[in-house]
Chain A
């Protein structure tokens, strides 16, 4: 691999995404993408005693499914990259403790899916033959940790986003016929001073556009190069903001740009306000929807940019603003 421009990495032997798996919760199953997910759950507990245990089970089963679909025996995997939103990433580490594989816990808030794909791809070019990259999130465990108890009778402001219950997992391999991960553009931490925890889209949009534009500059590509440009979970408001910022900087992304948080729910009927969020949003929408489109060759390349808000409840209570991050990965046939 080699570095292009300021912050992009180009692979000499691009790793193949062999297969992907996705499992989502009941609300996501009622959304517009319901047919694309591998498995949908009937209830958020999935037979477990707590939200946290349920989330661990979701990530575990998603990884199981991805490995199964890839037809690569478990013993031939070199490592797992995984992350989630819960304190100290317990969903991933508890969910994946029985796989008996080297494990890298990754945290990049909702940008984790692309972060783990990037690290996995680097490993493939380095020492590994097969790796799994995965993330999960759960509406109830996230609400409990970041916001309020579920039974509290509060109202959600129109700018708020809905954490996706679900997980996505991708199997990367040294050998295969694509889709290939050709470039990655890791993002910088960008803080534009937004403090409103109920408007994450606005906090993350500047990080998204920074990474996007850096990617174009480093690779000498432009928005038209890609069939689709997808952000992780900026939601409806963040998506509009991102389009505006790009336009102001001379890039028109309006025609081929969309957002996983916008796609996963139907705003009109599901009352999700600004759309979906969480590590599971980008993970499940890419694994469920876009990967299948790549497989069917309906699209031939995609720039996937997962976005994350790097805050926790302590930082917001101490009056800190919300730093955003976005990692980009270019996937081509």
Chain B
């Protein structure tokens, strides 16, 4: 199959993605520097806001605009959970609330568990030089 590289490296889509993705990270950085929140709490804030904004139908606009710039940050993970849940609720009702979220993000969760274990198997922690 031929790949149209000009549309893969579509500058407009990449630029939008870069800006939005970068700005979402800046919000996280302000939280790190201005509050005493630990990394785990910051991740929780991002994923939860993603779920809520996704559930309210707001985050979808950001995804349409910025693509991976909105889906790669953890808010996108939250958005994906909400989107999957709502889709399954539409199909299955209450049961969908329990199956939809994890189903739509199953790939990411499974990959994290698997590669996490694998990486820990083959490597050892090292002293931070700085």
Q: Which residues of A contact B (CB under 8 A)?
A: 26-27, 43-44, 139-140, 148-152, 154-155, 196, 198, 270-271
Contact = CB atoms under 8 A, between A and B. Distances in A.
A140 B126 CA distance: 9
Contacts of B39: 148, 152, 154
A150 B125 contact: yes
DSSP majority for the A interface?
loop
Nearest to B29: A155
Interface in B95-130: 125-130
Contacts of A155: 32
Contacts of B38: 148
B130 A271 contact: yes
4 nearest A-B pairs in the assembled complex, by CB-CB distance: A271-B130, A150-B125, A44-B127, A154-B39
B127 A139 contact: yes
A61 B109 CA distance: 45
A150 B124 CA distance: 10
A196 B36 CA distance: 8
A150 B129 CA distance: 11
B128 A150 contact: yes
Chain B interface helix/strand/loop/mixed: loop
Given A148-B39, A152-B39, A154-B39, A140 B32 contact: no
Nearest to B39: A154
B56 to A, nearest CB: 31
Contacts of A154: 39
Given A151-B126, A196-B36, 20 more contacts: A26-B127, A27-B127, A27-B129, A43-B127, A44-B127, A139-B127, A140-B125, A140-B127, A148-B38, A148-B39, A149-B125, A150-B125, A150-B126, A150-B127, A151-B125, A154-B39, A155-B32, A198-B36, A270-B130, A271-B130
A40 to B, nearest CB: 14
Nearest to B126: A150
9 contacts: A139-B127, A140-B125, A148-B39, A150-B125, A150-B128, A151-B125, A151-B126, A155-B32, A196-B36
Contacts of A26: 127
Nearest to A44: B127
Nearest to B123: A151
Contacts of B125: 140, 149-151
Nearest to A165: B127
A223 B108 CA distance: 62
A137 to B, nearest CB: 14
